[in-house]
Amino acid sequence: SGSTESAGSISSLGRDRGLSMSSSQNKSLLHLRGTQKKLVLGMVGLPARGKTYISKKVSRYLTWTGYNCQVFNIGSYRRKLFGADKSNEFFDPDNLQGVEQRKQCAIAALEDMIKYFASGGHAAVYDGTNSTSSRRQMIMEYLEREGEHLGMKIEVVWIESICNDPEIIEANVRETKLTSPDYIGASASTAEADFMQRIRQYEKAYETLPAEADYPFVKIVDVGRQVITNQIYGYLMGKITHYLMNLRPNKCPIYITRHGESMHNLRGLIGGDSDLSPNGRAYGQALADFIHSEQFHEDDVDELTVWTSTLRRTIETASYLNIPTVQWRALIEIQVGICEDMTYADIEERYPAEWAARKRDKLRYRYPQGESYMDVVQRVEPVIFELERMQAPVLLIVHRAVARCLLSYFADYDQHDIPHLEVPLHTLLKLEPKAYGCDIKTHKLDIPSVEDEGPHVQTSS
Ligand code: ATP
């Protein structure tokens, strides 16, 4: 029968290699290993170098792939403990009171991070400037000591963002700092001048990660123009490094739609590789008309590329567009194994145990000889990496389960919501990037589909 990945089995950072273990197997493995591994990604960099941006992204990525991960932002501790109204003098390394108070914030964040690990967190991002060797040494020693105390091995990887292009820095300051809680009530020019001065205060004491360091780090230079790694080892660190190598602050929208209604949709069958129905073809045409209309952003359509799966219904939907198309096998619909070409009613009748297992845990339920939603998350990961690298708009014409997985990554939905996200047929979603996330706009095209006929009709995708 179809196996489910047990929810309680994600207790060590060694998971996520496509292995399915029962929880008893997993417990004995953990017992043999003795200590639990935890991972801290410590940010390093001057202000306005994208540390918070990178922190949120990498944390999102880890959460999406099944780890418990949280960001600990030292600036928020500073605001909470000592107030938001600190001018740049507070950050002067010669201001002894400022130095002491900033150290207290750093420790308060570390203490919470330890509590988070003790309560089941797997990984944490420690988001601050961490700009001197002595501060980083203090953090590593603290984590080693506290970890030992709690029977955890806490590994630290430093992620440094270096950028000396004044244009990028000014743009970053304008985009994210002028509206920061640090400058409520201040004019834009006062805020900008003070923030630039804050950067200079940090520059006085800044020490880059040394090439001879005997600990792991990843240095990102000029928004990914160069990536330097040191002592990166193992599966997870490797994956994170690969992710960081692809990460660019993207200003372009991502469009997502399901294929037009298929013949299988019409018949209520799941799986398969059917053609579009007449309404599905009408949607292909309507989508093309919309994308080439004035309503659609002119810059977007000029640079747009279209990505489909290798299944006929997506390729056929794209065929009306007359835009270069890339076919990704990684984007095919969730594989339903022995339930291929069946209706949901057939499955309930023929495989009641499978039906019940799926109802219990739709996220981790794996169709016999098929896939689970979590399998799809793993499968579409290369597409996510590529999208993070893209500097042009992309339209993805995909399938329902795949659209749900992609959407949950970009819009930061809880993992357990993935299988339940609403992605109706004949609807175009526009994901517009903003400072640390994205807005979603929904555009329903006026083409009927089997899904309009009532909530009792559950179509495949
Ligand atoms: P602070 O120390 O004040 O918290 P920060 O380093 O955390 O600053 P962010 O708040 O993350 O900086 O700045 C966000 C801006 O940085 C965004 O405009 C984003 O586009 C940009 N950005 C993202 N990645 C990078 C990078 N690798 N290098 C430089 N800028 C980047």
CA-nearest of 255, 430, 414, 265 to 333 is 265
Give the pLDDT score at 3: 37
Residue 8's CB: how many other CB atoms inside 10 A? Answer: 8
By the 8 A CB rule, do 332 and 310 touch?
yes
**Ligand 1 atom at shortest distance from the alpha carbon of 73:** 4
Is there an atom of ligand 1 within 6 Å of 340 CB? Answer: no
CA-nearest of 452, 448, 406, 457 to 429 is 406
What is the rounded distance in angstroms from the CA atom of residue 218 to the CA atom of residue 216? 7
Q: From ligand 1's centre to the CA of 372, what distance in Å?
A: 35
Q: From ligand 1's centre to the CA of 227, what distance in Å?
A: 16
Residue 132's CB: how many other CB atoms inside 10 A? Answer: 15
Strands 254-258 and 394-398: parallel
By the 8 A CB rule, do 249 and 443 touch?
no
Give the pLDDT score at 453: 65
Please state the pTM of the whole predicted model: 0.89
Give the pLDDT score at 296: 81
Which two structure tokens, joined as six digits, stand for 392?
Answer: 């042009």
Strands 254-258 and 427-434: antiparallel
In the residue annotation, 259 being an active-site residue is answered as yes
Question: Could you give the C-alpha distances from 442 to 10, 95, 303, 340, 386, in angstroms and in order?
Answer: 35, 51, 21, 30, 23
> Tokens 């007359």, residue?
322
Which two structure tokens, joined as six digits, stand for 213?
Answer: 């360091």
In the residue annotation, 100 being an active-site residue is answered as no
| Ligand 1, atom 17, residue with closest C-alpha | 172
Is there an atom of ligand 1 within 6 Å of 57 CB? Answer: no
Give the pLDDT score at 315: 98
CA dihedral 415, 418, 420, 424 (to 10 degrees): 150
Is there an atom of ligand 1 within 6 Å of 176 CB? Answer: yes
CA-nearest of 296, 254, 297, 251 to 391 is 251
Give the pLDDT score at 421: 96
What is the rounded distance in angstroms from the CA atom of residue 309 to the CA atom of residue 326? 8
The pick from 43, 44, 46, 52 for probing ligand 1's pocket by mutation, whose C-beta has the most ligand atoms within 8 angstroms, reads 52
Q: From ligand 1's centre to the CA of 97, what distance in Å?
A: 27
| Ligand 1, atom 27, residue with closest C-alpha | 223
Q: Among the options 259, 371, 399, 451, which is catalytic?
A: 259
Q: From ligand 1's centre to the CA of 222, what distance in Å?
A: 11
Is there an atom of ligand 1 within 6 Å of 53 CB? Answer: yes
Ranges of the chain with pLDDT below 70: 1-34, 299, 453-461
Is there an atom of ligand 1 within 6 Å of 198 CB? Answer: no
Which two structure tokens, joined as six digits, stand for 444?
Answer: 């329903």
- Asked if ipTM goes beyond 0.85, one says yes
Local structure of residue 208 (DSSP, 8 states): P
Q: Among the options 155, 333, 371, 451, which is catalytic?
A: 333
**Ligand 1 atom at shortest distance from the alpha carbon of 162:** 28
**Ligand 1 atom at shortest distance from the alpha carbon of 224:** 27
| Ligand 1, atom 18, residue with closest C-alpha | 172
Q: From ligand 1's centre to the CA of 335, what distance in Å?
A: 39
Local structure of residue 173 (DSSP, 8 states): I
